[in-house]
Copies of this chain bind each other. A is one copy, B any other.
Amino acid sequence: MKLYGYWRSLATFRVRVALALKGLQLDAPEIPIDLIQGMQHDPAYRKVNPQAVVPALVLDDGGAPLVQSMAILEYLEETHPRPALLPQDPRGRARVRGLAQICVSDGHPFVVPRIRRYLEKVLGLDEPARDRWVAHWSLQALEALEGHLAHEPETGRYCHGDALTLADVCVASQVIAAKDYGRCDVSGVPTVMRIYGECMKTDAFARSHPSRQPGAPADLRA
């Protein structure tokens, strides 16, 4: 397997964590597609992923690369079911997927480079206004998560009971968006932050963090 990603990409982070949790190794180091430099638009990468986004996971069977982080996570779950990252019961699976989608559909989309570029180049927003945009939508997603996690009896050590699930993978990515990228005040989402802390105690999450990737600036990696 080969993974095209970007150190700062939270969708790539999610795949990195899932691979680590499943004990799966890539055949080579993650292949960096620098989204700030615009490498995603290179014709060569467009052949890998016509949408010009990361991640893309290339399997060893010679077939088309897998795209979209949630689709990749579900694929890894189906083909490598142990350890399970979805509960066994359909209701529990729906809860885990619902929490995951709050992050993937209602939080993350607003902070990706192509959006920030539109805000700057087309709408002419200055940096403080762009920062407020990122912070607003990142925090709103965390508040939506808190609205579930703080009150629902299924919440345990992690998002759904005491075993890690795809919800934790996605929630952790959303916390990084809000805390590290959006510099949000996260004091209003204590349950989310407690769970994030639990996740980050595990090696799979900790070593997948953007700041730990080879492409990250030296001052972040320190």
A interface with B by C-beta (< 8 Å)? 46, 50-51, 53, 59, 61, 63-64, 66-72, 74-75, 78-79, 90-91, 93-95, 97-98, 100-102, 104-106, 108-110, 115, 118, 122-123, 125, 129, 132-133, 136, 144, 147-148, 151-152
A147 contact set on B, CB distance < 8 A: 46, 50-51
What residue of chain B has the Cβ atom nearest to residue A147's Cβ?
B50
Q: Chain B nearest CB: distance from A14 CB in Å?
A: 12
What residue of chain B has the Cβ atom nearest to residue A50's Cβ?
B147
Contact A75 B50 (CB under 8 A): no
Contact B72 A94 (CB under 8 A): yes
Partner pick for A98 among B66, B98, B132, CB 8 A cutoff: B66
Q: Chain B nearest CB: distance from A2 CB in Å?
A: 16
Give the CA-CA distance A95 to B75 in the complex, in Å: 9
Q: Count copies of this chain in the complex.
A: 2
Contact A51 B102 (CB under 8 A): yes
Contact B118 A136 (CB under 8 A): yes
A102 contact set on B, CB distance < 8 A: 51, 67-68
30 contacts between A and B (CB under 8 A): A50-B147, A50-B151, A51-B102, A53-B106, A59-B91, A64-B152, A66-B91, A66-B94, A68-B101, A68-B105, A70-B70, A70-B105, A71-B98, A71-B100, A71-B101, A72-B94, A72-B98, A74-B93, A74-B94, A75-B90, A75-B91, A75-B93, A79-B90, A105-B105, A105-B109, A109-B109, A109-B110, A118-B136, A123-B125, A123-B129
